[in-house]
Amino acid sequence: MNNPLNTGTIIAAVLGLGVSQASAETAHIFWKDLRPATQAVAADANLPMIAAKLPDHGETLSLNLQDKTIQLAGYALPVDRDGDLVYQFLLVPWTGACSHMPTPPPNQIILVTPAHPFKMAKAYQPVSVTGVLKPGMEKSQLFILDGALIVQSGYTVRKAEVESVDTVPDAVALPVNSPWNFLNKKKN
C-alpha cells in the first residue's frame, strides 16, 4: 500500500538533491572564458581594448558555455532603471566601459536581466552575476551624459541572481590617465 507521507518525503529528498547538484554545477568563470583563446586580452590590445582592433571585431563567442549556469563578477552599467532599481544592465570587465571610454568587444559584454530588480548605488558598481549564459548578439541603448549610445553584447543572462561584491578578481586595470579611475578607489 502506498503511504503518501513516504512518497512526499522521497520527492522532497529528490528535489533537494537536484537543487544541490544544480548549485554544484555553477561554473565560476572569468572574462577570458568569454573570448576565443587566440584573441588578444585587453593589455595585449593596447588598452582600452576595442572591437575595431580585433580581426573578428570581438564577435566570436564562446559556445562551450552555452546554456551553462555561470557566475562572473564585473561592473554593472544600467540599461533600464527607475531611480536606484535596475531592471536590466550590461556587465562589463572595467569601469568606464561604454560611457567615455571605448566599448569592449561584444564577447566581453553580457546583457543581464536580474530575477528581481537590483538596487544599485552607483553606475559601475561591482557585482557578481549567476545564471544561465546564452550566446547571441543583442543591442542595447544606453543613455549617458552626452546622449544615447547603442552597445552590442555577445551574451545574455536572464533571471540572474545579482549581488554586490567588493572586488572583481580579473578586472582590467585602467590606464593611469583614465578619467574613470576614481570609481576604483576605496572609500574610507
> Is the pLDDT reported for residue 16 higher than 60?
no
Residue 12 predicted with pLDDT over 80: no
- List the single range of 52-56, 84-88, 113-117, 183-187 with lowest mean pLDDT: 183-187
Q: Higher pLDDT residue, 135 or 14?
A: 135
Q: How is residue 21 written as a grid cell?
A: 547538484
Q: Which of 12-16, 28-32, 86-90 has the highest mean pLDDT?
A: 86-90
Average pLDDT, the chain: 77
Pairing between strand 110-114 and 27-28? unpaired
Say how many CA atoms lie within 13 Å of 160 toward its Cβ. 32
The pTM score is 0.76
DSSP 3-state of 122: coil
- CB burial of 28-37 (b: ≥16 within 10 Å; e: otherwise) equals ebebebbbee
- Condensed to tens digits (0 to 9), the pLDDT of residues 31-57 reads 989 987 776 655 555 545 566 666 777
Query: pLDDT at position 24, please?
Result: 55
Nearest one of 52, 154, 160 to 93, comparing CA atoms: 154
Q: Residue length, the chain?
A: 188
pLDDT digits (tens, 9 = 90+) for 61-86: 888 899 999 999 999 999 999 999 99
**Ramachandran category for residue 12: left, alpha or beta (phi over 0 → left; psi -120 to 50 → alpha):** alpha
CB atoms within 10 A of CB 59: 13
